[in-house]
Amino acid sequence: MSELIDVHHHIVPKKYVESLSEKGVKKGLGVQLPSWNVNKTLEVMDQNGISTSIISISAPGVYFKDKDPKMELAKALSRETNESCAKLIQDYPKRFGAFATLPLPDVDAALDELKFALEVLKLDGVVLLSNYDGYYLGDSRFDKLFLELNRQKTVVVIHPNTPPGIEESHLGLPEAMIDVCFDTTRTAFSLIVNGVTKKYPDVRFILAHAGGAVPYMAARVGITSSLLANKGGIGPFIANGIGKISNVFPKLKESMPEVLNYYIKFKENGCQKDQIFI
């Protein structure tokens, strides 16, 4: 019988909950933070035939813009959480692995914590939230981080976060109910359309919740980008030509109409086989 490995398994350390509570944060994705202990975790794993869980913390993560402007709490919580994970691995070496938490959106601080988590604590990869301060992971502000993740051939599990602007929706439902699936989808296509998956092919991504809506939206995204470019049937030919010529003259793309730009971005950027898992 094959062993089951759970790569989407959260821990909620007591100290983490207490630190958030001191800042007035008592929910994650609209749901009250639960009581957690390792014995209950092991019991659930045994009941479901899970041999090993790769643990991480979930949203809200460690970044709270208005409550922690200097990101002192974010840095401290990242270190505490990663050391807690390492201790669980030490105590139960066959039952746990861990994805490290990074104090994003401070990329320099995240790089420091990444080095400590992977090289000192020997954790198995990192967990990134789908957006930080409304910026999705394909944004160029995260390039320096992905450069290092690629160098280290890191496994990155992407977990959804609260979508920007949710307070304007007046839907009245917790993010955990439906919004998380769409935020995963947004960041997945952000990574692809901005060429992150192509530029950093040695980063392996795991998308939480079966990829959100990615499996259902992939065809629509491809069709829509083509339709936007299809001005009288000649648009794709123009876009393809500009795309090839711009390899020699990069600034040529700057004058490309926006509708053609959508097309060429999806045409040129993609991910290699076995780079994204859902």
* Segment-wise mean pLDDT, segments of 10 residues, the chain, 278 residues: 88 95 94 95 96 97 95 97 98 97 98 98 98 96 98 97 89 92 95 91 95 87 66 51 54 56 63 66
The answer to whether 252 touches 245, Cβ cutoff 8 Å, is yes
Amino acid 248: pLDDT: 52
Plot region of 195 (φ>0 → left; ψ -120 to 50 → alpha; else → beta): left
| pTM summary value | 0.85
* Range list of β-strands (E), the chain: 4-10, 27-28, 31-32, 50-56, 96-101, 125-129, 131-132, 135-136, 155-159, 204-207, 276-277
Amino acid 180: pLDDT: 94
CA distance 223 to 218: 9
Rg (CA), the chain: 20
Lookup: tokens for 261:
């730009």
Query: Could you give the domains of the chain?
Result: 1-124 (3.20.20.140), 130-278 (3.20.20.140)
The answer to whether 263 touches 227, Cβ cutoff 8 Å, is no
**Sheet containing 204-207, strands listed edge to edge, beginning at the edge strand earlier in sequence:** 4-10, 50-56, 96-101, 125-129, 155-159, 204-207, 276-277
Residue 236, preceding bond cis, omega within 30 degrees?
no
Amino acid 236: pLDDT: 54
